[in-house]
Amino acid sequence: MADRHPAPGPPSETVADWDHRHLWHPFTQQRDWRRERPLTIERAEGTDLIDSDGRRYLDGVSSLWCNVHGHRHPLIDRAVREQLDRVAHSTMLGLTHPAAAELAARLVELAPPGISRVFYSDSGSSATEIALKMSFQYWRQRGGQHARRTTFVSLRDAYHGDTLGAVSVGGIDLFHATYSPLLFHTHRVEPGDSDQLECVLDFHAEEIAAVIVEPLVQGAAGIRLHPPGYLRRVRALCDRHDVLLICDEVATGFGRTGTMFACEQERVAPDFLCLGKGLTGGYLPLAATLTTERIHQGFLGAPEGGRTFFHGHTFTGNPLACAAALGNLEAFEDEGTLVRLQPKIRLLGELLAGVAEMPEVAEVRGRGFMVGIDLGEHDPTLRLGHRVTLEARERGAIIRPLGDVIVLMPPLAISAADLRRLVEIVAASIRAACASADGEQPTTELAAAA
């Protein structure tokens, strides 16, 4: 049995000093960050994160939407340890290994009909970038009039990652506008508006390689939901115009919307299925771009023919990460994760009904275990969403906002009792943060940041 209480690391004051002197955090204004005392997470257990003082916090956003079965899960821990006893890393350039091959077979079994090939990478951004490059190269290699298919259709407020190709098909100005001179052109349509998509495809189909969507839910847009039937309509329009469909399930996959993959709910089989985040249960960086035999056949030929897909990463198909993913899938099966999730989804809906009635809340949006609590329009200098997260931290939960939308995305394994506690903490934190923003006494953390 592994030591349940490993030796502590450096003192939290030392960690904070190193952090402020040397680290650069993602999606974080560093000037403000240096004014705050960092919360140092030393270990975790189940659905709790534990700080350097031993205090526990509910992991209300699944460690950025990726943890599925909880931290230190015995099946995944064992899978990684057993793989570590064999080999930690070996390239897939000219070699293979058991974990990568087995995982590919398992993913194809789980994927929608027609999916037969798996290309590994190390992040969701890379997974979508690979789908874009594959679809572009596929049409180019078809030749003739197909070589004109060099552009893409994406949705307003889309988010597909932070590499330049993924940013080009993104649609959130706050994240993407700075890089506009570096990006390629796409046709951007309104989410949920299949008539507008139909119009774009009617006029431009011969130059479009693929349509890319986040199925059912646009996560980084603030948990924005598509209307029922929209994804199926997108698939039909792509079929009519012989345009490829890329479904980015980096955030929505692995049970997050209630089924293994969101596209299942509208019986849609895409040409590309992009996976990440929950693929390893939140353990290690691994992503995958799944595609069809049709696409794969388009890349076959003599080496001198130039049809090779020249893309890869040093850690493509890393054995430790693939082992974690296999342990993750084993946990799904052995523990009936998706079946056990359904009553918790219903409970979450019931709990959120009360939150939606709070005067401080403009709207609650959600699908499965993806929830956005919209606090409405506020002066951005108030940083209301950030205030809510600090209030929640004081009450024992880690959450994160998207502007003034509070995101709840707990691990699928969270207990009903902890789910209730999480929603209670969030509701109390919203009340306290709004009162603070209206001029009442701020929290200690906010006072220190001022």
- Rounded to a whole number, what is the distance in angstroms from the first to the last CA of the chain? 46
Least confident window among 2-16, 315-329, 351-365:
2-16
Question: What would the pLDDT profile of 218-272 be if each residue is shown by its tens digit?
Answer: 999 999 999 999 999 999 999 999 999 999 999 999 999 999 999 999 999 999 9
Q: DSSP of 118-157, one letter per residue?
A: EEEESSHHHHHHHHHHHHHHHHHHH-GGGGG--EEEEETT
**In this model, does residue 445 exceed pLDDT 60?**
no
The three-state secondary structure class of 224 is strand
User: To the nearest whole percent, how much of the chain has pLDDT over 70?
Assistant: 96
Whether the CB-CB separation of 365 and 224 falls below 8 Å is answered with: yes
- Phi and psi, residue 348, nearest 5°: -60, -40
List, in sequence order, every residue forming a beta bridge with 372; answer none if it has no partner.
365, 407
Residue 51 identity: D
Residues 115 and 249: their CA atoms lie apart, in Å, by 14
**In this model, does residue 11 exceed pLDDT 90?**
no
Question: What would the pLDDT profile of 298-349 be if each residue is shown by its tens digit?
Answer: 999 998 999 999 999 999 999 999 999 999 999 999 999 999 999 999 999 9
Q: Which residues contact 390 (CB under 8 A, 6 or more apart)?
A: 433, 443, 445, 446
Q: Which residues contact 422 (CB under 8 A, 6 or more apart)?
A: 58, 60, 397, 408, 410, 414
- Domain coordinates of the chain in residue numbers? 12-69+336-449, 76-334
Whether the CB-CB separation of 215 and 160 falls below 8 Å is answered with: no
Architecture of the structural domain at 12-69+336-449: Alpha-Beta Complex (3.90)
Q: Cβ–Cβ contacts within 10 Å for residue 44, how many?
A: 18
**In this model, does residue 448 exceed pLDDT 80?**
no
The CA–CA distances, whole Å, from 407 to 35, 61, 369, 371, 372 equal: 24, 7, 10, 6, 5
Instruction: Tell me the two tokens of residue 115.
Output: 């999916």
pLDDT classification of 411: cutoffs 50, 70, 90: very high
Residues 201 and 207: their CA atoms lie apart, in Å, by 9
Q: What is the CA radius of gyration of the chain?
A: 22
Residue 184 identity: F
**In this model, does residue 441 exceed pLDDT 80?**
no
Query: For 76-334, which CATH class?
Result: alpha beta
Question: What would the pLDDT profile of 92-113 be if each residue is shown by its tens digit?
Answer: 999 999 999 999 999 999 999 9
Whether the CB-CB separation of 370 and 62 falls below 8 Å is answered with: no
When pLDDT is averaged across residues 408-423 and rounded to a whole number, the result is: 98
Residues 39 and 51: their CA atoms lie apart, in Å, by 7
